Structure 1
């Protein structure tokens, strides 16, 4: 179960490694300044790269028999083997 932790800015400086580990475990860490919430410590979440249509144009080739599935594979999927 996650818990919310409040620490002062000074405490956060000296305990950053431990606070980071708690955040990755699911705890919410709020850093306060002058007794008021100042920052939320959050884990980094990578943002996906923007899709660039057509970047593989001319680099992918489909064989002429792409749509033809061998009978033994079909039988394997249908449980007839």
Structure 2
């Protein structure tokens, strides 16, 4: 991943966006300090990216999940169990 200064990014924006769309992310810096990272929308955000369904088949949600602990919660808020 390469870094470009803000002036260069203004000058070469179309080319840089085309490169990013192809998967070549880059960083825009101002006075040598990194400000933003430009990545394509459908590119993974990194190794820590969470994906829906990654535990499918590994866990089970009980049928009474929505009512679990209802009595204890009701007591906490001044109700009677």
TM-score range, shorter chain: 0.3 to 0.5
TM-score by length of 1: 0.47
TM-score (norm 2): 0.47
Rg larger in structure: 1
